[in-house]
Amino acid sequence: MKRIPLRRKYRPIDGRLLNCTISFEIAEYFLFASDVEFKQPKNFVAVPFKYHERVELTIDDITNLGMGLGRIDDWVVMVPYVFLGEVAIVRIHKNLKNYSIGDLIEVVKPSPDRIEPKCSLFGICGGCQYQHIRYEKQLDLKRHHVSTAMKKLAGITFPVNECLHGDRPYNYRSKITPHFQKSVPPIGFLKEGMRTIVDVEQCPIATESINNSLGAARENILRNKSSLKRGGTLLLRDLGQRVETNPKVVVSQKIGNFNFSYRAGEFFQNNPYALPRLTNFVVQAALGPKYLIDAYCGVGVFGIMAAKNFEKVLGIEVSETAINFARQNARANEIDNIRFIVGVAEQIFENAEFAGSETSIIIDPPRAGCAETFLSQLIAFCPAKIVYVSCAPDTQARDLKFLAQQYSIEEIQPIDMFPQTRHMENIVVLKWKS
């Protein structure tokens, strides 16, 4: 096998061996040693590439999972931590039915949009996929991910708006949950593509306050390690004035003039710098009809923020705890035209005492998207407007394919709530086809 030497300029990224930026000589030693250390797995299919064969790949696309994609003799090869137009040396570790996957060994021709990642664990920790890409290009990439999902999974070619974002590409996350096992360290996040944990002492996408508190939280676990009976998860939730570490404590957070209470360990959007852009867009998009339904409403954020623009608002959510907070939040924000119901989303239709034709509905389901029963009842209810918020444009596109029978698209708006990662929120505004 021809060995392709590493270049001094670029950091080799091999999550299984290297855990920091190291010198050219050491990197080369480890990578060549790894050829010996990593025996070919028993179930490895050696077609079309041999185990650990190195190939030169030109990157034509980036998938929604953040993988660079190129072709060798029409065969697709995927590799992480690259960008469009780059030429990379890739070491194959898996041949699947339709494509192969490899590790990035070297970037031979870097993109002008490649930058130095801020985190020394980038490429090892599974939290971030895009730190090596200039932020403006990350935004373009997310817009591209949405438009590809819409086209491929739903046949939708409607133009996607430029990706909105907050003012912090780093130090934005107000909640992190590092994991640990019975034997510590490591205390941190899952390694890229693996079930093992990588030790994280600082996380540059988390707020400064979280990073200032992380040392003490880790120290506390390490000090008591002999009494640990099992692994667990730490919580660090930045509330502005302090960092909360007890998931059961009730905390509150402001969005504009509104104040929301919830339990520190439970769901609340965790980028406060971009959150007003998300809530403002959703509220504006829902305006028009007399009534509003907030399905999958959590602690009531969208419904409460929009309520003064509607005669009546109805929220539904499967978690009773969240609904109790939603009711409390409505009272605290002096909103009295909103009612909340505990139940699965489809139960909303038997409880709505107003006509669909006079209703806007906001839907913000978990990553898996909406149940088919919900979607068919939604179409039968025929709301005038649907504002579909999603953190998973692929399941959103699947659901839109169904809704497109009766609804036309008014706007598609991605919002980057998770800079440096492949994740985003996407909002699609739909109008009943008259």
Ligand X SMILES: C[S@@+](CC[C@H](N)C(=O)[O-])C[C@H]1O[C@@H](n2cnc3c(N)ncnc32)[C@H](O)[C@@H]1O
Strand partners, 263: 250
Binding to ligand X by residue 378, rule CB under 6 A?
A: no
Out of 56, 391, 410, 411, which one is annotated catalytic? 391
Q: Which residues contact 102 (CB under 8 A, 6 or more apart)?
A: 55, 57, 77, 78, 79, 90, 91, 92, 93, 94
Hey, which residues between 403 and 422 contact ligand X (CB under 6 A)? Answer: none
- Is there a catalytic annotation at residue 425? yes
For ligand X, which is the closer residue by CB, 100 or 174? Answer: 174
Out of 86, 192, 346, 425, which one is annotated catalytic? 425
Binding to ligand X by residue 399, rule CB under 6 A?
A: no
Chosen residue from 57, 128, 156, 345 binding ligand X by CB under 6 A = 345
Chosen residue from 344, 355, 379, 382 binding ligand X by CB under 6 A = 344
Q: How far is the CB of 306 from ligand X (least distance, A)?
A: 12
Chosen residue from 139, 297, 375, 409 binding ligand X by CB under 6 A = 297
Binding to ligand X by residue 301, rule CB under 6 A?
A: yes
- Is there a catalytic annotation at residue 86? no
Binding to ligand X by residue 267, rule CB under 6 A?
A: yes
Chosen residue from 59, 78, 322, 375 binding ligand X by CB under 6 A = 322
Binding to ligand X by residue 364, rule CB under 6 A?
A: yes
Considering only the stretches 131-139, 165-173, 238-246, 313-321, report the one whose residues sit in contact with ligand X under the rule CB under 6 A.
313-321
Chosen residue from 296, 325, 349, 388 binding ligand X by CB under 6 A = 296
Binding to ligand X by residue 317, rule CB under 6 A?
A: yes
Chosen residue from 58, 261, 319, 377 binding ligand X by CB under 6 A = 319
**Active site members:** 391, 425
Chain contacts with ligand X (rule: CB under 6 A): 267, 269, 296-299, 301-302, 316-319, 322, 344-345, 364-366
